[in-house]
Structure formats: structure tokens, C-alpha cells
Amino acid sequence: MKPLYFTPRTRYKLVSLTGSWCALNCKFCNRKYLVNMIHVSPHSFINIVRELYASGVRGLLLSGGFRSNGTLPIEPYLDKLRIVKSEFNLIISAHLGLVTNRDILYCLRGLIDIVDYEFTLSSFIVNYVRGFNFSPERYVESLVRIIGSGLRVIPHVYAWHPEINKDIFREELRVISDFGIEEITLLAYIDPFKTYEPIKLAKVVESYVEYARRVFPGRIYMGCMRPGYIKSLLDPVLVSRGLVDRVANPYYKVLREHPGEIYDACCSVQLDHLVREQFLVRKT
């Protein structure tokens, strides 16, 4: 099977529902990723979406800053989402964070198509990187609630971070698999304080992706979060060995050396006939 590549550029846009605001101060972000998102407010949301749609945009990833409890402030946008979903043919995905409120989740049914959900059982990520004062069990609780709401959720799991070990990774994959989830996106932590030896880091990430392929029965995607300096070493191996089904923002030479379909969309979109028509850029 040929690889599927996802390079969101003009048809799928990243939107911050909170502008530049975030209550957290995560080690790898420090709010800098919010800068390049399209900033909206509840007042401006519908008009901005109309403008984006008129320019050819057919998908939105709703993100932004998070409250101190790790949830995205999406409540002021629920009525606005109903309007844009009825008015436009849009695919909408969202970083909801650690939402556990059943009422909000049920309100989102039919309004968002995909929940891109960072899932971890690592205290390093939860307590040090994110700065939360609760345990990783909160991530499990939130995942259970999202699944129970009927929303399509794709867990995003770290295939590498500085404190990862195989036991944690194994348990994360087991939990996801036990819930019957058939898709995961793998990430490699981008350390803002340290650059690692590229060959060594690429090999470590490859080994964890290989392990995931061996034990996880579903589809595996390489997400956009991974250090750029290892892409030339990592991406060709992942594709040539068939370790992943999709690659987000692949190293450019991979597109020529390993031909496949290229989509202008997030790697988590469900590829039915309509989505293929909307987001397919070309076949290489």
C-alpha cells in the first residue's frame, strides 16, 4: 500500500479560539505556537470562517490556549459552530484537552468530526512539561468520557520524550487498544532546551514506532510534532519499512522517493470519497 502524506497548507487551517491567551506555560510551547494560528473570538468567528471558506479552506483545527485544568474554552463557540456547520461543508477537528464534562461533549456531537487528543501516562509530561498538579489518570478519565460521547477520537502518543521508557509506552498502547480505538498518532517531543544527536534520536524514535507497529493492531500515523532535524533520517525509514500508514509534513525527498497520495489536511481526517475530493493535492 502506498503511503499517505498530509501537508496542511491552504485548505486546512489552524485556529486559536483564545487568541494568544493560555493559562498554562508548557515547557515546549510557552505560548509560541499560538502566534501563528488564526486568532478568533466568539464575536468574529463566523465572519472569519466565512472568509476562510471563500478563500478555499475546507477544514479547521480548533485549538488555542488551555485553562489551568487543561481544557479548551470551547463553550462560547457552541452556537457559532452550529451555524458554520450548517452553512459550510467543513471538516472540523479540535484539541479539546482534558474535557470531562458530558454535557459539553454531547453538544459537540455533529459539530466536530475529530478529537485530536494528547494521551499520556507519563508523569514527566503531565507534571513537568504541562505543569499540572494531578496524576496521568486524568488523561484516562477524559479519554473515557470522549469515547462515551460518541465522538471520533484519535489519541496522540509520544513515541519519544526525554523521560520515556518502554513500560509507559507499552501501557499507553495497551489502554488505547483495550478501548477499541483503531487509530493513533505518534509524536516525538521537541525539546526547547536541548538538541540531540540526530542519528541517535532518529534511531530511538524508529525503535518505538517499530514497537507500536508490532503491538498495536490499528492504523498508525506519524504526527507533525517531531524535531525537524531528524526528518531526513527518520521519515524515509518509516515509509520504506511500512511502519506508519500516514506521515504529516514529511521530509520533502520522501515524496519523490516513495510516491503516494498527498493531502492538504491534518493527518487525522477520515478519508471518505468527499474528503478525498476536497483535500487531495496530487498523487506522486
For 123-150, the pLDDT digits (tens) are 999 999 999 999 999 999 999 999 999 9
Domain boundaries, the chain: 4-279
For 210-259, the pLDDT digits (tens) are 999 999 999 999 999 999 999 999 999 999 999 999 999 999 999 999 99
Question: CB neighbours (10 Å) of residue 79?
Answer: 13
Q: What is the pLDDT of residue 3?
A: 86
Q: What is the DSSP annotation of the chain?
A: ---EEE--SSSEEEEETTTT--S---TTTTTGGGTTSEE--TTTHHHHHHHHHHTT--EEEEE----TTSB---GGGHHHHHHHHHHS--EEEE--BS---HHHHHHTBTTBSEEEEE----HIIIIIIS--SS-THHHHHHHHHHHHHT--EEEEEEEE-TT--HHHHHHHHHHHHHTT--EEEEEE---SS-PPPHHHHHHHHHHHHHHHHHH--SEEEE-S-S-GGGHHHHHHHHHHTT--SEEES--HHHHHHS--EEESS-TT----HHHHHHHEEEE-
**CATH number listed for the domain at residues 4-279:** 3.20.20.70
pLDDT tens track of the chain, all 284 residues?
788 999 999 999 999 999 999 999 888 887 888 999 999 999 999 999 999 999 999 999 999 999 999 999 999 999 999 999 999 999 999 999 999 999 999 999 999 999 999 999 999 999 999 999 999 999 999 999 999 999 999 999 999 998 888 999 999 999 999 999 999 999 999 988 888 999 999 999 999 999 999 999 999 999 999 999 999 999 999 999 999 999 999 999 999 999 999 999 999 999 998 899 999 998 87
Indicate the pTM of the whole model.
Answer: 0.95
